[in-house]
Amino acid sequence: MKRLLEVRDVSRHFGGNAAVDHVSLDVFDGEAVGLIGSNGAGKTTLFRMIAGELALSGGRIEFDATSLPHRPDQRARLGIARTFQIVQLFGGLSVLDHLLVALQAHEGRQGPMRDVLWKGSSTPEEEQRCLETLRLCGLSDVADAPATALGLGERRAVELARALVVRPRLLLADEPSSGLDAHEAARLARVIALARRETGLAVLLVEHDLHMVEAIAERVIAMDAGRVIAQGTFDAVLHDESVIASWLGRSA
Amino acid sequence: MAGALSVSALVFQDVHAQYGPYKALNGLTASIAEGESVAILGRNGAGKSTLARVASGLVPVASGHLSVLGRSVARTAPHVLARMGVVHLPEGVGLFSGLTIEENLVLRVGGASRSARRRRLAMALGGLNDELRSRRRTKAGLLSGGQQRLVAVTAALAAEPRLLLCDEPALGLSPVAGDEVYAALGRARDLGCALVVIETRLDRIEHLCSRAIVLEKGVAVYDATSSDQGGILDALTGSRGVS
Amino acid sequence: MGVFFGYVLASIPYGCAFSLVAVGLVLTYRATGVFNFAFAAEAYAATVVYSELISHGVQRGWAAAIVVCVIAPVFGALLDFGLFSRIAPGNRTAKTIMALGLTVILPQIVETAVPSNPPVPPAPFFSTSFIPVWRIGGDPVFGSAICEVAGTILVLIGLVLLLRTRRFGLPIRAAVESPKLLELSGVDARWVLRFAWMISTALAAVAGVLYQVGSGATVDPQNYDLLLVVSIAAAALAGLRNLPIAALGGVLLGLAEGLVQGYVPSSSIWYPALVPSLPFLFLLVLLIFHPTLRHLEDTIDPMASIEPPPPVPAVAMRPPIVDRTIRRMRWPFLGVVVFGVILFVPADWTEALTEGAALSIVFLSITLLTGLAGQLSLAQWMFAGIGAFTTAQLAENRHWPILLAALAGALVAGVAGLVAALPALRLRGLPVALLTLCLALLGDDLLFPTSWVSNGTSGVPVPRPSSIFGIDFSSVDSEGFFVLTVVVMIAVAGIVHLLLRGTTGRALTAVHASPIGASSSGVQIRRMTILVFMLSASIAGLGGAFYAMNQQTVSQDSFVYYFGPIYLVVVVTIGATTVEGAITAGMAFALINNALMNVPQSVGGTQLHSTALTVILLSLGAFTYAKHPEGIVEYAKRRLAKTVFRAVEHNDHPLVSAEDSA
Ligand SMILES: Nc1ncnc2c1ncn2[C@@H]1O[C@H](COP(=O)(O)OP(=O)(O)OP(=O)(O)O)[C@@H](O)[C@H]1O
Ligand SMILES: [Mg+2]
């Protein structure tokens, strides 16, 4: 298998506080990796660095064996898609429009020049592709509803659909199931599995829900206080003493 | 204790509430006794958060009758209710991101007298874990999502509530931190505080709540109480499958 | 030594007033999220009240000052009650617009209400004020200076002590982020905000009176521009957060101003241009490099989801039949209007309509930038000016055909837009408004007065085109030009409409709602921002060129900076999200202005006051804005759509909120 994402010795300090401390990890093509760890372990900070939102204090990140461009939008167009711990939707846009924005940006068919030259309306192919993704994510019924008025479960699904519509190569999902009921969480897991099967997408998943990690991830990496403390199969990591102490607790 | 139980902490009678054109509660009727701990269940969008917001005064009652801690309220401002002992841990973060952890605690725990304020603040600081306590002068907005949630829960518990409305208290917390939060909620219940807990995960409420109300489209469709034969989960699953 | 101290002493009243206003700005911003542009206007109003009190029999200055200090907080409370408390807490654009509206309207109201401003400087606080108390190096130190310094220090200490308190200090910093969460903590957030307004208005009043009495100048609103800009610079220096730095910054800037005015000889070519512009340049540098200003508006209200969602746009709730009818009828309707104007309307009204069309073009640039990209630019009128002057100079001195010159003017304005866009890449929201305000003031002070731009007050003539595509309409000058302007306006409206409805509209809505969400979806925020800024500036430039052609001359007074904010307020309150909003605003402004100009002198009409009255009339719309941030036009359309829906479907539209149907 080809190595898709390579994180080497990456650190990030805030003042004197090391949020991420010499972390190295790999994600291979098509693989699903779970990233778990206590609150404040540095998972989101790592995501922000991979996505280009935050600069590194040290180390390097490579994607597809080349170093990454700087800005988040450049990385997104390379195929790194992301969902957020606190949902980041576009107030004022319909669900379908969320996907169109992402798709048109990805294809480079966005901007004042196109609009002025009368090429601003979305093409049937674009709409077709968005609708397909919406169907995949179970959102067909609400395609025209304003996204921010939906319930949390649907909002998270919209975020996922927005990430998936461009057929990314790597999906960074930050607690996609938090706030969802068991039903919705299971559906989300199914959507991710389907997308992986169809497009060979690799997933890096941050989760606090044991069942989600088990359902999606083939391999698990555990962090605490900015460092990687364990990695391996789901069972192996969950039986690791330090993981039990810092993350899982007695309920195992 | 029996006398105290005759007072209701929260009574909804045919309560309606809405956000602009979107109706969230459609004639909710339910009552929660003082000292009782009740779980609110239901799908997303069923009106669970609205129930808590109406009870704490954030969302006005459009029609119907609501009384909180024995007092009839319709358009009472949230701060009046807060001073009566209603503490609402809202959905989401629930902190001022521009204030430090300590300032957030000072503000959220409240207290009528200087000694009460000091007692509550000490209790809140004691409830934080070591890392957060040592960082109590950092801006809350710089903490991770889960850390912020921990601070907010700690503050809510230290406010010595008579009625505590918790909207998904363990959201975004690691399993071990979530367990600790639920243990702390259990201690608050044992001190006589009425608890209303909105939760999507059933295994969490098993040990905390003796009653569960299931909402659907803004009305209570099912009300289950645990009995000697079985816990709340049995009561829920016995008569009706809950997703 | 003596000279130096003389300048230092002379700058005391300035320093004190600047620091008080800067502190007030920071305080209001931190507590309420409103950047109170109206601060200087409030200070001015307070001074007028002070002077009026003295000229109406209050003998002693200090007594009048006390009365002012009592009235001011009441006024502040009224402002909060009537205006600012009605804005949704998270709506920063609305807060800025409202403050701008107030800035525009307050001096106009005062000037209209107290027509004969006292020509003499207001009386000092004590009759003994100008007796030297002691001397430093031969320079007299007057009692008034001591009064000012002591007063300022007292006020600042009191404020710092107040902000230390648990009851007020902590809530005031929390309220700005989320009044609702503050309420949940048992604090009456409404009163915290109101109290903040009362204090800050009182500060404005004290600052105004100190400034005026201390400087000994006549009461004139123009003096307050300097007060505002310097205090904005001091507040920016403090990152809009730190009160002591704001106070200190005000004092230092006052000193710097005094020293520069003292040492740069007034005969130097620098003096008239540079001295007034120093604070703007300073502010410009601050805005670009100050780190906290870049993240000023990053926080979002954690309780925002409790606010009811904004109403659905009228287009979304219109039955399709209405859409079809509108689409079919709009060209015939337009044709009837244009022909009606040509055939029946007298020439002066035709010119007013042409002016309306030209203004509409400028306003469409605001639609693009504010309605679409969510950026508040106060420099659009300056871009219009750049377009107009370029056109005039090319036509007059290079003998270019006028329409070609107008196109070139639009291009040059577009390039100027780039200057605004580059810093705006790193900023959004309020800092962009401040930045563009700086640019507008710089344009007004440094660029437009120079002779190679405007020929000074004598101006440059601008011819109207007499033929186009071989059609000669020199014999029906005003009608022909009217038709031409309307055609250009429609073309521009078409372009803006395409952008609103096309990929840009969607993408910029996304950027506005969540910059990080948009950029990690691949949206190229920088490229898009730059293009939209440039496009908007060139549209403004084109509008300016047509405005100048309609006036037939353009001089340094044609594009006064403060019409930038005025027009922004007018467009946003009437409706910045649709093309029709801009056109309605442009036409309304020109027509009302013309109507007022025709009011006979006998009933109080004067040409001089008509613009002021128009401004007052339209800014009154700002008061509807708190309730309807989508704009008057959109609101009216929604009401209409609702009525139509009910008539057609015999039922209420499912998305109509209770408030609308009430
Ligand atoms: N901008 C910042 N400034 C200062 N400290 C920060 C900043 N961002 C994150 N941190 C700190 O870095 C640490 C890691 O935060 P991060 O958000 O990555 O945690 P996390 O693993 O995602 O936790 P959670 O599970 O709670 O979301 C925390 O201690 C946090 O306080
Ligand atoms: Mg996180």
8 A C-beta contact, residue C490 and residue C583? no
Per residue in C325-351, pLDDT tens? 877 888 888 888 888 877 787 877 888
What is the pLDDT, as a whole number, of residue C138? 60
CB contact under 8 A, C312 and A115: no
Number of C-beta neighbours around residue A56 at 10 A: 15
Task: Write the DSSP assignment of chain A as a string of letters.
Answer: --EEEEEEEEEEEETTEEEEEEEEEEEETT-EEEEEE-TTSSHHHHHHHHHTSS--SEEEEEETTEEPPSSHHHHHHHTEEEE-SS----TT-BHHHHHHHHHHHHTT--SHHHHHTT--SPPHHHHHHHHHHHHHTT-GGGTTSBGGGS-HHHHHHHHHHHHHTT--SEEEEESTTTT--HHHHHHHHHHHHHHHHHH--EEEEE-S-HHHHHHH-SEEEEEETTEEEEEESHHHHHT-HHHIIIIIGGG-
Q: With 80 as the cut, is the pLDDT of residue C204 above it? A: yes
DSSP string, B186-206: HHHHHTT-EEEEE-S-HHHHT
CA torsion, ordered C399, C400, C402, C405, to nearest 10 deg: -130
Lowest mean pLDDT among A161-170, C88-97, C357-366: C88-97
Confidence of residue A204 (pLDDT cuts 50, 70, 90): very high
SS3 of residue C25 by DSSP: helix
How many CB pairs below 8 Å do chains B and C form together? 96
Contact A37 CB / ligand 1 (< 6 Å): yes
Interface confidence (ipTM) of the complex: 0.93
DSSP letter for B159, please.
T
CA torsion C478→C482→C488→C492, rounded to 10°?
130
User: Which residue in the block uniquely carries the two structure tokens 């994402």?
Assistant: A5
For residue B41, what is the enclosing H or E element? strand B37-41
- Which helix (H) or strand (E) segment is C72 a member of? helix C61-82
Q: Which residue has the tokens 């420099």?
A: C379
Contacts of C399 (CB under 8 A, 6+ apart): none
Q: Which residue has the higher pLDDT, A59 or B200?
A: A59
pLDDT above 80 for C483: yes
The DSSP code for B47 is S
pLDDT for C569 beyond 90: no
Name the burial class of residue C27, with classes exposed (0-12), middle (13-18) and buried (19+) by CB atoms within 10 angstroms of its CB: buried
Q: Is the pLDDT of residue B5 over 50?
A: no
Determine the pLDDT at residue B12. 93
Under 8 Å CB-to-CB from C345, ≥6 apart: which residues? C353
A183 neighbors B150 (Cβ within 8 angstroms):
no
> Which strand (E) or helix (H) includes residue C447?
none
Cβ neighbours of B92 (radius 10 Å): 22
Residue C473's SS3 state is coil
Chain C residues 306-335 with CB within 8 Å of chain A: 309-310, 312
The tens digit of pLDDT for each residue in B11-24 reads: 999 999 988 778 88
Confirm or reject: Cβ of B145 under 6 Å from ligand 1: yes
* % chain A with pLDDT above 70: 99
Question: What residue's CA is closest to ligand 1, atom 19?
Answer: A40
Q: Which residues of C607-623 are buried (b: 16+ CB within 10 A; e: fewer)?
A: eebbbbbbbbbbbebbb
Q: With cut-offs at 50, 70 and 90, classify the pLDDT of residue C77.
A: very high
* Of A182-186, B215-219, C89-93, C504-508, the least confident: C89-93
Q: According to the model, what pLDDT value does residue C230 have?
A: 83
C494 contact partners, CB below 8 Å, separation of at least 6 = none
Domain C2-270 has CATH 1.10.3470: yes
Helix (H) or strand (E) holding C560: none
Q: How confident is the model at residue C131 (pLDDT cuts 50, 70, 90)?
A: low
Contact B196, B38 (CB under 8 A): yes
Cβ density class B161-194: b for 16+ within 10 Å, e for less: bbbbbbbbbbbbbbbbbbbbbbebbeebbeeebb
> Quick one: DSSP state of residue B70?
T
With a CB cutoff of 8 Å and minimum separation 6, the contacts of C577 are C313, C367, C371, C372, C500, C630, C631, C634
Cross-chain CB nearest to A39 (options B142, B146, B201): B146
Contact state of A112 with C528 under an 8 Å Cβ cutoff? yes
Average pLDDT of A151-175? 92
- Does A146 touch chain C if contact means CB atoms closer than 8 Å? yes
What is the residue type of B100?
Answer: T
Q: How confident is the model at residue C298 (pLDDT cuts 50, 70, 90)?
A: low
- Distance, CA of C311 to CA of C655 (rounded, Å): 8
Give the whole-number percent of chain A exceeding pLDDT 90: 60
* Averaged pLDDT, A221-241: 91
For tokens 């090319």, the residue is C394
Beta strand segments in C260-358, E: none
Mean pLDDT of B62-91: 90
The dihedral through the CA atoms of A191, A194, A195, A200 has a sign that is positive
Answer whether residue C536 shows pLDDT above 80: yes
**In sequence order, what are the residues at sequence separation of 6 or more whose Cβ sits closer than 8 angstroms to the Cβ of residue C244?**
C160, C238
Cα C123–chain centre separation: 32
Please say if the pLDDT value at position C630 is more than 50: yes
Cα C188 to Cα C190: distance, rounded to the nearest angstrom: 6
Within chain C, all domains assigned CATH 1.10.3470 are found at 2-270, 324-644
Task: Kindly report which listed range (C2-6, C318-322, C643-647) carries the lowest average pLDDT score.
Answer: C2-6
10 Å CB burial of residue A88 (0-12, 13-18, 19+) is buried
**Range scoring the smallest mean pLDDT among C47-56, C532-541, C598-607:** C598-607
Distance (Å, rounded) from C-alpha A101 to C-alpha C510?
A: 8
- With a 6 A CB cut-off, is B44 part of the ligand 1 pocket? no
| Alpha-carbon span C582 to C236, nearest angstrom | 32
Q: pLDDT grade, residue C87 (50/70/90)? A: confident
CATH of domain C324-644: 1.10.3470
C-alpha–C-alpha distance, residues C417 and C408, integer Å:
14
A with B: how many residue pairs have Cβ under 8 Å apart?
90
- Model confidence pLDDT, tens digit, residues C227-261: 788 888 888 888 888 888 888 888 888 888 778 77
Among A82, A100, A113, beta carbon nearest to C506? A100
| pLDDT of res. A252 | 45
Whether A73 and C503 lie within 8 Å, measured CB to CB:
no
The pLDDT tens digits of the residues spanning A74-90 come to 999 999 999 999 889 99
Determine what percent of chain C is predicted with pLDDT higher than 70.
Answer: 84
Q: Which amino acid is at C95?
A: K
Going along C403-497, which residue ranges are E strands? Answer: 460-461, 467-468, 471-472
Strand order in the sheet with A3-14: A17-28, A3-14, A58-63, A66-67
Q: Given pLDDT bands bounded at 50, 70 and 90, which one contains residue B4?
A: very low
Q: Kindly determine whether residue C302 and residue B97, on different chains, have CB atoms separated by under 8 Å.
A: yes
Please give the DSSP secondary-structure letter assigned to residue C185.
T
Average pLDDT, chain C: 81
B79 and C171 in contact by Cβ < 8 A? no
Q: By the 8 A CB rule, do A165 and A158 touch? A: no
Work out the average pLDDT over C6-11. 74
Of C20-34, C242-256, C263-277, minimum mean pLDDT range: C263-277
- C509 in A contact zone (CB under 8 Å): yes
Contact criterion met (CB below 8 Å) for A10 and A24: yes
Indicate if the pLDDT at residue C354 is higher than 60.
Answer: yes
By C-alpha distance, which of C613, C611, C637, C632 is closest to C622? C632
**pTM of this prediction?**
0.88
Is the predicted pLDDT of residue C431 greater than 60, yes or no?
yes
Asked if C254 contacts C246 with a C-beta cutoff of 8 angstroms, the reply is no
What is the CB neighbour count within 10 angstroms for residue C471? 10
Within 8 A by CB and 6+ apart from C311, the residues are B20, C630, C638, C655, C657, C660
pLDDT band at C474 (very low <50, low <70, confident <90, very high): low
Per-residue pLDDT tens digits for C113-127: 776 655 555 666 665
Residues C358, C348: Cα–Cα separation, whole Å: 15
* Subunits close to B (at least 3 CB pairs below 8 A): A, C
User: Quick check: C491 pLDDT over 90?
Assistant: yes
Which pLDDT does position A118 carry in this prediction?
83
| pLDDT, tens digit, 9 for 90 and up, residues B136-176 | 999 998 999 899 999 999 999 999 899 999 998 988 899 99
Q: For residue A174, give the ligand nearest its CA.
A: 2
State the pLDDT at residue A19: 92
Long-range contacts of C126-135 (CB under 8 A, 24+ apart): C126/C60, C126/C61, C126/C62, C127/C60, C127/C61, C129/C61
**Mean pLDDT calculated for residue range C407-412:** 95
Q: Which of A145-149, B212-216, C316-320 has the highest mean pLDDT?
A: B212-216
Find the length of chain A: 252
Ranking B123-137, C6-20, C133-147 by mean pLDDT, the lowest is C133-147
Asked which of C381-395, C441-455, C592-606 is least confident by mean pLDDT, the reply is C592-606
DSSP state of B139: B
Q: How far apart, in whole angstroms, are the C-alpha atoms of residue C426 and residue C423? A: 6
